[in-house]
Amino acid sequence: MTWTYSQSTGILKHNGQFVAKGYAGKGIGTNNTKMENVPNIGPIPRGQYTLIELIQSHPTTGKYSIRLLPASNNKMYGRSGFLIHGDSRKSPGTASSGCIILKLVYRKQMWESNDRQLQVIE
């Protein structure tokens, strides 16, 4: 069973079924597939990821952040450190430097499903 996240739409699916809409990237890079190679601006690069760790409390991304491990054959453009985490409370829509931003309920759903594979597509 697999999770799928679309760079261009921000749509998260589980086994082909719509779950939620989030975003990844900052400013002009938000959900902009052509900027996946731009550090701290573009969305998380396409490829396969494994959800490897639940961080209950992260100093910058808050509670219930999920650490992602890219597959060795992903083209990462020198980028790393991707998480799935929540949005900024002070400035919604600005929390991502490439990470996937989803509401807490959906992050919990992902982790509690025990499905650890995430495919990031265009």
pLDDT at 1: 74
Place of tokens 């931003």: 101
CB crowding 51-88: b at 16 or more within 10 Å, else e: beeeeeeeeebbebbbbbbbeeebeeeebeebbbbbbe
* pLDDT (tens place) for every residue of the chain, 122 residues total: 799 999 999 999 999 999 999 999 999 999 999 999 999 999 999 999 999 999 999 888 989 999 999 999 999 999 999 999 999 999 999 999 999 999 999 999 999 999 999 999 99
d(CA 110, CA 105): 9
- Per the structure, the complete domain to which residue 57 belongs is given by 3-120
Domain count for the chain, please give it: 1
Domain of 104: which CATH number? 2.40.440.10
pLDDT at 85: 98
